[in-house]
């Protein structure tokens, strides 16, 4: 059709427009991709099931106190314990044999959940950085002769604190 030809006839103009939007287009694409990864991670967190049990598992060898038991000859019993901080102090809790499986599963779920949360936070950071980059690609230097500088990177202010610059 000849109608389509008219549109393609404006080739150079389209090319210019594409060239101008190229960097912001790439930034948009990257940001959208980061959002997809963030969203996928969020869905994974939403699928998480409990119960979660905070702490880490350890094994300890002990004697039971019965002088006729094999542990008195050095073949110690092994028992599992859960350790976690409690009010800033490390606390260890003995796990009865009948609870071992349940606690181990809960601890593993807890570990995975924390890991997913860390990844979510990292992906959120990536999104913020990419949004900032997108903003920079859209920034028009102004005024033309002596443009104002782009914004300073936001981050943790140095220790001692510097006054915030606009
Ligand atoms: Zn014993």
pLDDT for 154 equals 62
Q: Determine the pLDDT at residue 52.
A: 98
Dist CA 59 CA 94 (whole Å): 10
Contacts of 16 (CB under 8 A, 6+ apart): none
pLDDT at position 151 is 81
Higher pLDDT: 3 or 61? It is 61
Q: Is 96 left (phi over 0), alpha (psi -120 to 50) or beta?
A: beta
pLDDT in tens, 99-156: 999 999 999 999 999 999 999 999 999 999 999 999 999 999 899 999 998 888 765 5
pLDDT in tens, 64-103: 889 999 999 989 999 999 999 999 999 999 999 999 999 9
- Between the CA of 64 and the centroid of ligand 1 the distance, in Å, is 4
Q: Which residue has the higher pLDDT, 63 or 20?
A: 63
Distance 60 CA to ligand 1 centre (A): 13
pTM score, whole prediction: 0.68
Expressed in angstroms and rounded, the spacing between residue 72 Cα and the centre of ligand 1 is: 6
Distance 106 CA to ligand 1 centre (A): 28
């Amino acid at each position: 059709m000849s109608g389509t030809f008219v549109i393609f006839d404006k080739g150079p103009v389209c090319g210019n427009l594409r060239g101008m939007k190229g960097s912001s287009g790439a930034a948009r694409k990257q940001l959208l991709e980061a959002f997809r990864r963030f969203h996928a991670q969020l869905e994974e967190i939403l699928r998480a099931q409990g119960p979660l049990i905070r702490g880490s598992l350890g094994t300890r060898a002990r004697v039971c106190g019965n002088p006729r038991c094999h542990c008195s000859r050095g073949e110690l019993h092994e028992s599992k314990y859960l350790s976690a901080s409690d009010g800033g102090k490390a606390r260890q809790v003995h796990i009865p044999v009948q609870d071992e499986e349940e606690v181990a599963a809960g601890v593993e779920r807890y570990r995975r959940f924390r890991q997913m949360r860390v990844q979510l936070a990292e992906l959120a950071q990536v999104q913020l950085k990419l949004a900032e980059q997108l903003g920079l690609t859209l920034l028009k230097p102004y005024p033309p002769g002596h443009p104002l500088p782009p914004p300073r990177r936001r981050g943790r202010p140095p220790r001692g604190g510097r006054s915030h610059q606009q």
